[in-house]
Structure 1
Amino acid sequence: MLKFLIPTAKEMAELSPVSQHFQTEKSNLIAQTTAKLSSSELEEVYKIKAESAAKEALRWRSLAKQEANYFPALKLFNGLMYRNMDRDFLTDLANIDQKVFITSALYGVIPAMTPIAPHRLDFNTKLKIDGASLKQFWRPDYDQALTSEDTVISLLSSEFEDVFSPQKRQQLTSIQFKEIQDRKTKTHSTISKKARGQFLTQALKNDCQNLDDLKMIEFNGFRYNDKLSQTKLLVFTKEIN
């Protein structure tokens, strides 16, 4: 079975909370550490304005006290990639938690529908936990999330892929999306984020079981490009007139 890895997003949706919640020893340590930072310190850590920093300070204190509201992760994140998924279809899949995993700087590698609290944290955040960067802190857990039997499809940016050790990174099959215009290929974050959400939806709607199945996917003008692809890199291109 294919396992898909997707990143978190800064934007979050307004939802009704669920009763259950998810908190590990590691995520609790991050919450306890970050909750000790003042709003002005969070301004510097996040490079954000005072009003936004004050909001984050309240979130972290709620997390540290385990008083936060919790929401299914796949529904909570609302960035461009997530908005380009058919989430009604995905969240109704009985085996979604066996197929799609979200890579988080607060929670580790979690099944898509795990109930989590709203937060702002990514692996570029300059935060030390027990003297380690967030990437160093999470690497053992990220590596452990991949077994040798998995065919792992990475819809991650390098920020998230770099959390895995070099050896485990070799296990990932990455997906890239490019536009071709006047024989020139181009890619940028907007193209990639939209296409990731659409590709994931199509892969699960087609019930893809292996890499050959993925190569047959066509969506929104994108199709597999054998010439640009490599063994561990599948490239999908779209012709722009």
Structure 2
Amino acid sequence: MNRINQLFDRKRQGLLSLYFCAGHPTPDSTANIIETLYRNRIDLVEVGIPFTDPMADGPVIQDAATKALRNGMTLRKIFGQVKEARDHGVEMPLILMGYLNPIYHMGYKEFFERCRKAGVDGVIIPDLPFKDYLEEVKPVADKHDIRVIMLITPETSDERIRFIDEHTDGFIYMVSSASTTGAQKEFDLEKQAYFNKVNDMSLKHPRMIGFGISNKQTLESAQANAAGAIIGSKFVTLLDELQDPQAAVDSLRDALGK
């Protein structure tokens, strides 16, 4: 069974996922960061594929992507570094998150073959059209037992949310805001109404809430309204400032009151 499905079969509440950009802060840091997060019992890790035009990302992740590209990071190198972490005994689910362009240019067949061989469990492609997912991507991903995780936002219609729930597997990435990524101090009433609406839909797949989670308040709110929380910008900032994954994890735990 896919590791993502195994995780949610085993644990349905209080999950924590962290995002970082491959190739940042240093060219060869990816495997070490993954292994550090595994030792610290992080439930799920998203490895960002750096891209020149990350339209859904805020300035922190854009800056990390720019530095990663300057460090020479490529999609092929990412697969090698992920496999290195797997070879060192990492067993938690690993997800690649990136934009369609580099994946499309590699070719879906080669991309998902490399995912399987490297030990990748899922992918998130924010700008993947749902029609292309159903017709071109899903058949290849299913062949290699890779989950394609789709995003929903406060602007996503109920009809589309149910369609995503019906035609995807693993979990649904519930974006807390329709704006770009970035830390927030708390979720407002509008976001809470969105969380309540989706909860009332009784979807069959678990949800993880991301975008804007940076402190105890936003973490607890996300974990109360979904299976867990995804933290990106805050962790990327700490990696950039501290240049050490364990120190970044320790500082993040302090910020989260963990």
With normalisation by structure 1, the TM-score equals 0.30
Looking at secondary structure, tell me which structure has more helix per residue: 2
**Per residue, is there more strand in 1 or in 2?**
1
> Could you say which structure has the larger radius of gyration?
1
